Structure 1
Amino acid sequence: MIESHELKKRDRYLEQLIGFQDTEPVKVITGIRRCGKSSLLKLMVAHLKESGARPEQIVEMNFESHDSRKMTSDDVYEYVKERTVPGKRMYLFFDELQRIEVWEDAINAFRVDLDCDIYVTGSNAYLLSSEYSTYLSGRCVEIKMLPLSFREFLYFHDFEVRETQSALGGLRRQVFDKNGERYELREVFDAFMRFGGMPGIADVGLNQEKALTLLDGIYSTAVVRDILEREKRRGQRQITDPVLLRKIILFLADNIGSSISISSIGNTLMNEGLLEDGKRKGTPSAHTVQAYVNALVESYFFYEIKRFDIKGKEYLRTLGKYYIVDIGLRNYLLGFRNRDSGHAIENIVYFELLRRGYDVAIGKIDNTEVDFIATSADDKKYIQVTESMQSEDVRKRELAPLQKIRDNYEKIVLSLEPGLDASYDGIKSEGLVDWLLSE
């Protein structure tokens, strides 16, 4: 087990947790497996101890461990009850709690019977789905955790960005590793695009073979164990075919950032002969495909983004897009390749906007599209993402949809090669890597 002093900080999430410390709601940390939820609990425990909580006030249970495999919700209640210190506030930490049947009974009982502050993690949105929220409606706060951002990737891999003098007299950013080796920023960004942001990769280093082994493990637990096993536990029989599940995952991974309908997935798999393995005839029903896609979204493997009509000011029911939670997982699934790096960088921007607290939609204006409309309580941005703004044709294409928008919110084009102009008719042109490094 990693001791907490070795744990790398994830300040953005830890500050959110600390902000809710000692408040009534149950703190629920959600996100794909191995994105750092357990480490966040350990960081919170360390924070509590530093702030004066006694070790005996803290109860930690990890339901992935063998000891708790067969526990019931009553056993969990008894375990905690036996460890409660009379007259003291208790801090209860439950990791991967969804593995316990009717766990919500225990949580509710703690809330009624004890003076306690409760923290829970789960790798499945099912944890917060209708059945659960009826128990705890309004009494829980969700902290959505994602794999590492580019800034966190640099920190986890012991890279430091420094500004050095450039030959032209200006400053340029370069990256140094802990041995003082120097790299171009773009090289390190390419490593991020290749390996992705799963925190565990920092433990094995930027080594392709080891990274693939790690990603294979994450894929197997997230998909096989979480999705297929959980369906069994829920007594549902909709998602029983691992072959079909993998085909749908590969299809979605291959089509990130493209408009997709559920029927198009079934038809494509059918046309490519991917569903002909002897025993299966006919296209899977749209209902079946939808169930599989929902399960992948519930396990935080893919995220769905809806379209918004900018002029009509309404969400459209047609064709959403899907993005994969980690670009490294996509490379593991499809192999390393450069042919659609445009969609891969879009994927990175989408999750960075989520990290920064924005709600994100695709913008439709007339018959053109804006990659992202990012909205928060006090801010709104329109963002296009492209590999390069060097060629005039590309500039026209990327700027055209933004030029049609008649409001005064910020409009930005993010690209790996922004060219020399910092703006075009009030539309900002910014380097993607600089944007990822900015706060």
Structure 2
Amino acid sequence: MVQRKQYLGKLKKLKDKKIIKVVTGIRRCGKSTLLLMFQEYLKECGVEDNQIITINFEDIANEPLLDYRKLHDHVTKNLHQDKMAYVFLDEIQNVPQFQKAVDSLFIKDNVDVYITGSNAQLLSGELATLLSGRYIEIAMLPLSFAEYYEMVGGNQRDAWNNYFKNGGFPYAAVIEEEEIRREYLMGIYNSVLLKNVVARKRISDIPLLESVIKFLFDNIGSIVSSKKIADSLTTYGRKTTSVTVENYIEALTEAFILYKAGRYDVKGKQYLKSLEKYYLVDVGLRRMLLGDRSADLGHILENIVYLELLRRGNKVSIGKIDNNEIDFVAEFGGDRVYYQVAASILDPATFEREIAPLKKIADHYPKFILSLDELPMGDAGIKQVNIVDFLLGN
């Protein structure tokens, strides 16, 4: 079991703070395991077992607590009278009107509340209104390559090749048999699709939804629009509308299957409202659904880098300067870094194509080209960094 140091560190800093900790992320990315790790940390700090209340709402044994009033009564009866109580509510979105129980627990003295959810709607609508200013979201992703390598060890090149193919879902990382790993990833895909998308959005045309998913999976890192997808599917006999596609995309982003990267005009210094791109929460799901497509090497690398930039706390956009595109503009704490991502820039024409947009940028923020090349290259203060080294933090 790999220590999710980044997320665990955040929980440790927030311990005993009068604020609700909300851990969000796709199913099976490690949220429940993170809570278990944090509970072990609490015990190391002297917290006793009877101070910890943990309820997983995917466990059928807890089905009676799906009523928010019964949930509130159950937790209240088990609170420690003289010491801090740590309350962990896992997959809380399964409880209708859960926010009422959470808010009531939050206002009690000596109660520290932690909740997890697999849908972005957890922090929208009524919850956001009721608990405004009372929670901090910890957005969780599957394993980074650094975490993956810490788990599997061995030859770094072999580890990278496996991560590139199979992604970073924690349990999938330790499954050696290809067929079993594929079935496990298919199980995640079906679970997310049925529980977090179809059921929540009451989608009846599941084949159409899957057609939209396959189109988006096949076009990660490409500019897409709901109209373009609808027109393409209609051409292939799956007649639909841009409104329907837009609703499906919204459901997929809410379920943390897809992440949208908007566009930023570097010269105009403004965010644009169209021509966004979408990236997948884990490249292993793409391979499971579409198979091996070596021609998509560059876009898969883009996807991996995009997720890594998110993990590091950045706001990530696609850059535009004149008619050129910059793969990523990463902003954090008032600073900015520009990135181009390519499989290789050893070919002079490719090198020039990748570096040209970066040269056009007039500001003095750092600029990098990330590639799989081992030989260091660069020009005009723009550095080339090996992607694996970048992912490992070297």
Match of 1:255 among 209, 214, 219: 219
Does the alignment pair 1:137 with 2:123?
no
Does the alignment pair 1:46 with 2:40?
yes
- Structure with max Cα Rg: 1
Partner of 1:419: 375
Partner of 2:337: 381
Does the alignment pair 1:190 with 2:185?
no
Does the alignment pair 1:434 with 2:389?
yes
Partner of 2:108: 113
Q: Is the 8 A contact 1:388 1:418 kept in 2?
A: no
Does the alignment pair 1:245 with 2:186?
no
Query: What number of residue pairs does the alignment pair up?
Result: 393
Q: Identify if the C-alpha distance between structure 1 residues 49 and 427 changes in structure 2 by more than 3 Å, giving closer, same or farther.
A: same
Partner of 2:356: 400
Partner of 2:171: 200
Q: Is the 8 A contact 2:233 2:240 kept in 1?
A: no
What pairs with 1:24-423 in structure 2 (closer than 5 Å)?
24-70=18-64, 71-157=66-152, 159=153, 177=154, 183=155, 185-205=156-176, 207-232=177-202, 239-273=203-237, 275=238, 283-421=239-377, 423=378
For 1:213-269, what per-residue CA distance to the aligned partner results, in whole angstroms no more than 9, with x for missing partners? 11011001111122112234xxxxxx3221111111101000000000110010011
What is the RMSD of the two structures over their aligned residues, measured on CA atoms? 1.2
C-alpha deviation, 1:43, in angstroms: 0.7
Letter in 2 for 1:195: N
C-alpha distance in structure 2 between counterparts of 1:248 and 1:114, whole Å: 48
For 1:167-213, what per-residue CA distance to the aligned partner results, in whole angstroms no more than 9, with x for missing partners? xxxxxxxxxx3xxxxx3x333211111110000113423x3111101
C-alpha distance in structure 2 between counterparts of 1:426 and 1:203, whole Å: 41
Q: Is the 8 A contact 1:224 1:242 kept in 2?
A: no
Letter in 1 for 2:281: V
C-alpha deviation, 1:130, in angstroms: 2.0
Letter in 2 for 1:36: G
Partner of 2:15: 21
Q: Which stretch has the larger CA shift, 283-292 or 133-142?
A: 283-292
For 1:306-357, what per-residue CA distance to the aligned partner results, in whole angstroms no more than 9, with x for missing partners? 0000001111112100000000011011012211110000000000011111
For 1:99-142, what per-residue CA distance to the aligned partner results, in whole angstroms no more than 9, with x for missing partners? 01101111111123342000000000010012210010010000
Match of 1:8 among 2, 6, 10: 2
C-alpha distance in structure 1 between counterparts of 2:384 and 2:80, whole Å: 58
Letter in 2 for 1:48: L
User: Secondary structure of 1:257's match?
Assistant: coil
User: Secondary structure of 1:340's match?
Assistant: helix
Under a length normalisation based on structure 1, what TM-score does the superposition of the two structures give?
A: 0.87
Under a length normalisation based on structure 2, what TM-score does the superposition of the two structures give?
A: 0.97
Q: Identify if the C-alpha distance between structure 1 residues 387 and 203 changes in structure 2 by more than 3 Å, giving closer, same or farther.
A: closer
Q: Is the 8 A contact 1:390 1:418 kept in 2?
A: no
User: Secondary structure of 1:256's match?
Assistant: coil
C-alpha distance in structure 1 between counterparts of 2:165 and 2:298, whole Å: 14
Partner of 1:4: none
Q: Is the 8 A contact 2:220 2:303 kept in 1?
A: yes
C-alpha distance in structure 2 between counterparts of 1:420 and 1:43, whole Å: 40
Letter in 2 for 1:215: L
C-alpha distance in structure 2 between counterparts of 1:20 and 1:434, whole Å: 31
Q: Is the 8 A contact 2:201 2:251 kept in 1?
A: no
Letter in 2 for 1:210: I
Report % sequence identity. Answer: 42
Whose helix fraction is larger, Structure 1's or Structure 2's?
Answer: 2
